[in-house]
Amino acid sequence: MREKVLAWLAENVPSSRVNHILRVEQMAVDLAVHYNVDRGKAAMAGLMHDLAKYFKPQKLLLMARQEGLEIDEVIEANPHLLHADVSAIVARDSFGVNDEEVLQAIANHTLGRPGMSLTSCIVFLADSLEPGRGDSPQLQALRQMSRQNINQAVWKTSDYTLKFLLESSCLVHPRVVFTRNWFCARWKNKQPVVQQSA
């Protein structure tokens, strides 16, 4: 399966993006081992998280509508936000992935989701924090945090994303805020992360 996905990626995304995907896959595996969760699921979700990254906006919207996904005004204005959800559809329909936890980890890697599983958290963090994203002190701190407390890491990584979006005058999807708040509250109440897929 991995070779089939890599061949598909080589035809559908630039090599620089394939390199990012491979770094996400590796970081997801490293975090899965660290947190004692299924490394195969984390690797599969990491490898497939950006399948739809370069789909045209109209294709993303069409596939999302066919799937019955909610299209709000923020997504309508920025269909690229659908690439995570559509990547999960491609993983299911083109590669036969039917593990709900893997599909959710793919779908949640950009906007997150309140109550998302540990596997989803791992892929969400790996996508944002893989080494190719840079080496600023803030990113280094977030990478360290990702191995210490995953709830805090998702919260603070969401803050990092929100700060970037606000400084860039971008629209902010409500799910990013909901994710941030859910994991912030979870960390402050010292609650464990959700083990099963949400």
Query: What residues have CB less than 8 Å from 54, skipping those under 6 apart?
Result: 12, 13, 14, 17
pLDDT at 193 over 70: no
| Measured distance CA(116)–CA(162) in Å, rounded | 19
- The pair phi, psi for residue 117, each rounded to 5°, is -70, 170
CATH superfamily of 2-188: Hypothetical protein af1432 (1.10.3210.10)
Say if residues 165 and 78 touch (Cβ distance below 8 Å): no
Nearest alpha-carbon partner for 102 in 50, 45, 158: 45
| Measured distance CA(12)–CA(9) in Å, rounded | 5
How do residues 126-162 score in pLDDT, each as one tens digit?
999 999 999 999 999 999 999 999 999 999 999 999 9
- Domains of the chain: which residue ranges? 2-188
Whether pTM > 0.85 for this model: the answer is: yes
